[in-house]
């Protein structure tokens, strides 16, 4: 098994390729509850040539009765928005944020879901890039819109029906990526109901990184998920389908081959009054 990261690139790697024409650098900075802050931070300063992609405006659909707090847009909408950002199927895409990789991983996941191979997350966030003296600019790049030809990998995504089947009959591992106190139902800062999907195990997404903010190696990621079957179906969720994506990335780095995202996650699950809720430790 490889101990080389497939989906995470270092600051040095990016610096060396900063001006290669097929590279699209994407700033994904976003703070929940402060929807304008990412765009403002980007306008002030960003990695040269980076374009800005917004979690709520670009990578989410409007909120409805179901689908959670950050519903995935349909494939055509996503493809159109990526093309508008200058991303085609031939682009190599490197995403970064300042939120521990959560927002960048959402873009990474969306690209993979739409059939894109060369998608990467920058090892650390924008603050680390600045701290280490790497170049920044306030200059906005000229973006030439292109066509993104999507060929969705529908097996990467599950909806509430599949999760209900797993709760009732097993057949897959459910991973809750939220903080332990939210998983246990002791606090719930964002959603109407507290707790977790019955049978889910808790693996907080931020444990995929070391203390210094760098991503753990594939070997270290394997240790986090040591008891899980390498080829068994694994369904990952969080509050709204965003912070689950770094766990999807970590599982894939660790060699798991059948990893799926429950797109609507907890906020979708609780939108159905009949769905059962568990609290405490499993």
Closest CA to 66 of 240, 234, 277: 240
Give the confidence band of 1 by pLDDT, cuts at 50, 70, 90. low
Distance CA 271, CA 142 (A): 42
pLDDT grade for 147, boundaries at 50, 70 and 90: very high
Q: Enter the DSSP assignment of 127.
A: H
Look-up: residue for tokens 């990695």? 47
Residue 238 annotated in active site: yes
Q: What is the pLDDT of residues 168-225, one digit of tens each?
A: 999 999 999 999 999 999 999 999 999 999 999 999 999 999 999 999 999 999 999 9
In 10 A of CB 87, how many CB atoms?
A: 27
d(CA 67, CA 5): 32
Check pLDDT > 80 for residue 138. yes
Q: Tell me how far apart the alpha carbons of residues 186 and 27 are, in angstroms, rounded to a whole number.
A: 34
Domain positions in the chain are 8-131, 154-269
Fold match, 8-131 / 154-269: yes
Lowest average pLDDT, out of 34-38, 45-49, 110-114, goes to 34-38
Whether the pTM exceeds 0.95: the reply is yes
Give the homologous superfamily in CATH for domain 8-131.
Answer: Rhodanese-like domain (3.40.250.10)
Token reading at 122: 């920058």
- Give the bridge partners for 237, in sequence order: 176
- The Cα 176–Cα 163 span in angstroms is 12
CATH class given for the domain over 154-269: alpha beta
Q: What digits encode the pLDDT tens for the residues 52-75?
A: 999 999 999 999 999 999 999 999
Confidence label for 93 from pLDDT (cuts 50, 70 and 90): very high
- Strand runs (DSSP E) across 80-182, as ranges? 92-96, 119-122, 157-158, 173-176
Identified catalytic residue from 238, 242, 248, 261: 238
Q: Average model confidence (pLDDT) for the chain?
A: 97
């Amino acid at each position: 098994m490889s101990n080389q990261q497939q989906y995470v690139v270092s600051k040095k790697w990016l610096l060396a390729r900063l001006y290669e024409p097929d590279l699209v650098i994407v700033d994904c900075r976003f703070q929940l509850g402060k929807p304008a802050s990412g765009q403002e931070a980007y306008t002030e300063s960003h990695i040269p040539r980076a374009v800005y992609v917004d979690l709520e405006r670009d990578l989410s659909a409007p909120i409805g009765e179901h689908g959670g707090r950050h519903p995935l847009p349909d494939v055509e909408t996503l493809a159109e928005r990526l093309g508008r950002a200058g991303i085609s199927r031939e682009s190599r895409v490197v995403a970064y944020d300042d939120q521990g990789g959560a927002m960048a991983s959402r873009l990474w996941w969306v690209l993979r879901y739409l059939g894109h191979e060369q998608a990467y997350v920058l090892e650390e966030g924008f603050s680390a890039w600045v701290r280490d003296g790497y170049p920044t600019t306030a200059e906005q790049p000229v973006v030439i819109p292109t066509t993104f030809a999507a060929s969705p990998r529908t097996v990467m995504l599950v909806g509430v029906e599949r999760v209900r089947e797993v709760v009732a009959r097993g057949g897959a591992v459910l991973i809750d990526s939220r903080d332990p106190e939210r998983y246990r139902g002791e606090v719930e800062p964002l959603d109407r109901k507290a707790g977790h999907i019955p049978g889910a195990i808790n693996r907080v997404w931020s444990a995929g990184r070391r203390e210094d903010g760098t991503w753990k190696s594939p070997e270290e990621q394997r240790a986090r998920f040591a008891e899980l079957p390498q080829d068994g179906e694994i369904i990952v969720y969080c509050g709204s389908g965003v912070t689950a994506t770094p766990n999807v990335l970590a599982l894939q780095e660790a060699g798991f081959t059948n990893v799926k995202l429950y797109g609507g996650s907890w906020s979708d699950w609780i939108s159905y009054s009949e769905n059962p809720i568990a609290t405490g430790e499993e």
